[in-house]
Amino acid sequence: MDVFKICSEKYAHSLMASGAANRWNKKDQFVIYTGGSRSLSTLETVAHRSAINLSSPYKLLTITITDLSSIQEINQENLPDNWKSIDAYVELQEIGSKWYNSMESLVLKVPSALITQEFNYIINTNHPLFSANIILKNVEDFVWDIRLL
């Protein structure tokens, strides 16, 4: 299964995680956020970046998850009513932190807060199955359409 990530060129040639806190993880939990499609990854990047620097080159990473049995899904029905808002971050970080620390699965499949019928895939880079089951398949230039920005 392929998933996608858009990032600055300087971060595009290795599968590293910053450890920065986000919707589904706490600080110092090393995960890679990916989208189930190129278009969802584009929207997620636009929504979560304070500014896209058009003078800086961006890349689209295609990442292959080889073992689909290593994906755990969070269903929207099991989330708080306000899960799409920033107010829910603390609760969602708890859910993600529990998943991250349990090491029960390599990947967490979560609904996108932007398009709830589509999914993001969070990859735990510290999971023992990471090196054997996550492959950086392709890195290609990504050019922003100015109408999005």
What 3-state DSSP class applies to 133? helix
* Closest alpha carbon to 24 in 132, 81, 101: 101
Task: Work out the pLDDT band at 48, boundaries 50, 70, 90.
Answer: confident
**CA distances for 81 relative to 57, 74, 98, 99, 116, angstroms:** 38, 14, 20, 20, 13
The model's pLDDT over 79-138, given as tens digits with 9 standing for 90+, comes to 999 999 999 999 999 999 999 999 999 999 999 999 999 999 999 999 999 999 999 999
Q: What is the pLDDT of residue 55?
A: 79
Name 64's bridge partners: 2, 135
pLDDT grade for 50, boundaries at 50, 70 and 90: low
d(CA 20, CA 44): 16
DSSP 3-state percent helix, strand, coil across the chain (nearest 5)? 30, 30, 40
Query: DSSP letter at 125?
Result: T
pTM of the predicted structure, to 2 decimals: 0.95
User: Residue 51 pLDDT > 80, yes or no?
Assistant: no
Task: Count CA within 13 A, CB hemisphere, residue 58.
Answer: 18
* Angstrom distance (rounded) from CA 83 to CA 73: 15
- What's the chain's length in residues? 149
For residue 146, what pLDDT is reported? Answer: 82
Mean pLDDT of the chain: 94
